[in-house]
Amino acid sequence: MASVDVPVALLGYGTVGAAVHRLLEQNAEDIERATGHRLRVVHALVRDPGKERGFAAGEGVLTTDFASILEDESVTLVAEVMGGVEPTGGYVLDLLRAGKPVVTANKQLLARRSTELFATAAEAGVQMRFEASVCAAIPVIKVLRESLVVTNVHRVLGIVNGTTNFILTRMESGAAYQDALAEAQRLGYAEADPTDDVSGADSAAKMAILASVAFGSRVELADVSYEGIDRLRPEHVEAARSLGAVVRLVGTATLVDGAVDVRVGPALVDRHHPLASVEGPFNAVMLQGDAIRELMLEGPGAGGLETASAVVADMVSVLGTTGTGFLQGDACWRSLPKLPPGELPAPYYVHIEVADRPGVLAHVAARFADEGVSIARLAQHVVNGSAALDVVTHTAPSGRVATALDAIARLPEVHGLPDALRVIDERGI
Ligand code: NAP
Ligand code: HSE
């Protein structure tokens, strides 16, 4: 079979871009055997062509001129691995309008502008693929769109940020938060500015993308309530241990009576739950659905080569499916309502510091009862004349729990603000 020469361009030649070039070069024969196409990187957009690169780009490949890529008619496929929302979004729209398919690893761009991007791709009749935008090496988008095409997925749970999972597992071994974060940065897991990692924004963008594909209904970053791990203290990790659980930053996307709820926050995960064993910079996505009951995909969630493997797989998929109609275009085909804030039912772990006096427990319990929140477990620790209450509730709407905690915080015997973390213990089997 004669091989088809495919000149491709990269937007970005950093950690991921250089690794994409490395994989394309080192696996050129495998790709050709599988697809009959030989992909050749002819341009890579950068800011500073003089910088040292992880894999040599080749003579004349690096450019600072986006127009030279847009106007090169021989370029039939582009991988966007530069990150950021602008000018990246404008570049991707221009490429799609020019009839060039794009694969992207950019979760922040997709979670903010997917409506416009997919509409433009559809109008131009070209594909836009995004496997690498969620959990790097884990092929979860393909599994959701292809393998689970007839499964009514109604819940997605994910540990989708490697940096925060690394920090939390280091804290379990006694490391301080700041030291663990510094180590994650040194090992290259964290973003250059790790704010998106620790604030939960990176996980929220990934959960918005996962929810959109799983439910076929658009979810954007603005629809996701999120909280990071920045307020966690060693006491939370210790309390989790004493309750037979671990603390993880968990994203959940849930269908509740046809309405969508997507959120990210630190949660207590029961030791026996599969997500509890996900350690270090690894990610995992658990899918619960009618026919499959439950399955979990786990693997490296960050890293240049790990992410590049998903980018290259998307490039190969574009070549293999162009003109077939198979798995192309926007995954969103319906518009489901968003669940009102406060209505998602879950069990909660609550930590309350109180004066060690008669009647305090009754007052706290009464505030939960006023909101119809039932208590499943309770433990008290006495420290220097004060007491700490660790409470685990039965499943209750998040808004009811929040209202009870507001009332508890106003009790004169309560010191400071109570902390609440969701408890993840339910299974789909
Ligand atoms: P990176 O190492 O910072 O590389 C970014 C590249 O884009 C660099 O080559 C940079 O040029 C170029 N670039 C950035 N802004 C530009 C601009 N305005 N004009 C021209 N070139 C520009 O980033 P990365 O880690 O490879 O990440 C790339 C994308 O992959 C991001 O969307 C990220 O979220 C996503 N991703 C990364 C990982 C990971 O583990 N790294 C995992 C999953 C997804 P210079 O080199 O000249 O500065
Ligand atoms: N900083 C991200 C993480 C990289 O730690 O998961 C992958 O998106």
- The per-residue pLDDT for 119 is 97
Give the number of the atom of ligand 1 that is nearest the alpha carbon of residue 48: 47
Q: Using the mean position of ligand 1's atoms as its centre, give its distance from the Cα of residue 34 in Å.
A: 29
Among 10, 11, 15, residue to substitute to test ligand 1 (most atoms within 8 Å of Cβ): 15
What angle do the packed helices 162-172 and 177-186 form, to 10 degrees?
130
Domains of the chain: 4-136+306-319 (3.40.50.720), 140-301 (3.30.360.10), 345-424 (3.30.70.260)
DSSP alpha helix (H) spans, 230-325: 234-242, 304-321
Ligand located closest to 63 CA = 1
Distance CA 69, CA 345 (A): 50
Catalytic residue among 100, 107, 142, 206: 206
68 sits in which H/E element: helix 66-70
The reply to whether 100 belongs to the active site is: no
- The per-residue pLDDT for 102 is 98
Locate 94 and state its tokens.
């221009």
Q: Using the mean position of ligand 2's atoms as its centre, give its distance from the Cα of residue 302 in Å.
A: 5
| CB distance 428 to 289 below 8 Å | yes
- The per-residue pLDDT for 90 is 98
Locate 252 and state its tokens.
């959940």
Ligand located closest to 190 CA = 2
> pLDDT per residue over 148-180, tens digit each?
988 899 999 999 999 999 999 999 999 999 999
**List of the chain residues with pLDDT < 50:** none
Q: Whose CA is nearest to atom 2 of ligand 1?
A: 14
| 172 SS3 class | helix
Give the number of the atom of ligand 1 that is nearest the alpha carbon of residue 84: 32
- Using a 6 Å CB cutoff, which residues line ligand 1? 12-17, 45-48, 51, 81-84, 87, 105-106, 132, 136, 302-304, 307
DSSP code per residue over 209-242: HHHHHHHTB---GGG-EE--STT--HHHHHHHHH
Sign of CA dihedral 71, 75, 76, 77: negative
- The per-residue pLDDT for 1 is 59
End-to-end distance of the chain based on CA atoms, in angstroms?
48
> pLDDT per residue over 49-78, tens digit each?
999 999 999 999 999 999 999 999 999 999
Q: Whose CA is nearest to atom 7 of ligand 2?
A: 302
Distance CA 360, CA 412 (A): 9
Strands (DSSP E) along 82-207, which ranges? 102-104, 128-129, 153-159
Peptide bond into 87 cis (omega under 30): yes
Distance CA 419, CA 415 (A): 11
Q: Residue-wise over 370-390: b if at least 16 C-beta within 10 A, else e?
A: ebebeeeeeeeeeeeeebbbb
- The per-residue pLDDT for 295 is 96
- Using a 6 Å CB cutoff, which residues line ligand 2? 136, 161-163, 189-191, 197, 202, 301-302
Q: What are phi and psi of 246, to 5 degrees?
A: -130, 160
| 357 SS3 class | coil
- The residues, ordered by sequence, that sit 6+ positions from 51 with a Cβ below 8 Å of its Cβ are none
Locate 287 and state its tokens.
């899918």
